[in-house]
Amino acid sequence: MNLSIDPRTMLSSTNIKDQATDPKEKELQALRRSCRDFEAIYINEMYKAMRKTVPDSGLFEKDMASELYKEMLDMELAKQTASGKGMGVGEAMYDQLKEQLSTKREK
C-alpha cells in the first residue's frame, strides 16, 4: 500500500487558493492589505508616542544608530501587531470600506 503524497497536488491546491481570479475578490484582498498597512502605521505612531513618555535613563548613549534601530523595531512590532486580527482598527475600516466598494461596483 503506497501512502505517499504527490507534492504537485499539494502545491497546486495552495496556489489556486492564494490566487483570486475574480476582480472583485482581488479588490477585496487589496483593500484588506491596505487596511492592515494603515493599522500598522497607526500602531507605529502610537509606539512612537509611548516611547517619548519613557524617561531617558542615561545607561545607554544616544546616537543615530540606536534611534534608527528603535524606529525599525517599532515598525516591525507594529506590523506584527496589525497582522491577523490586530487591534481591530484595520478590521473596522475594512468592514466600512467593503460596503462602499460593493455599492460603487453596483452603480
Q: Is the pTM of this model over 0.75?
A: no
CA distances 42 to 16, 48, 56, 103, Å, are 33, 10, 24, 27
How far is 23 from 64, CA to CA, in rounded Å? Answer: 45
Taking only the tens of pLDDT, the chain with its 107 residues reads 555 655 555 554 444 445 667 888 999 999 999 999 999 999 999 999 999 998 888 887 888 998 999 999 999 999 999 987 889 999 999 999 998 887 776 66
Nine-digit cell string for 61: 548613549
Alpha carbon separation from 28 to 10, 44, 55, 65, 88 (Å, rounded): 25, 24, 43, 39, 17
Domain borders along the chain are: 22-55+63-106
Q: How far apart are CA 43 and CA 87, in angstroms?
A: 9
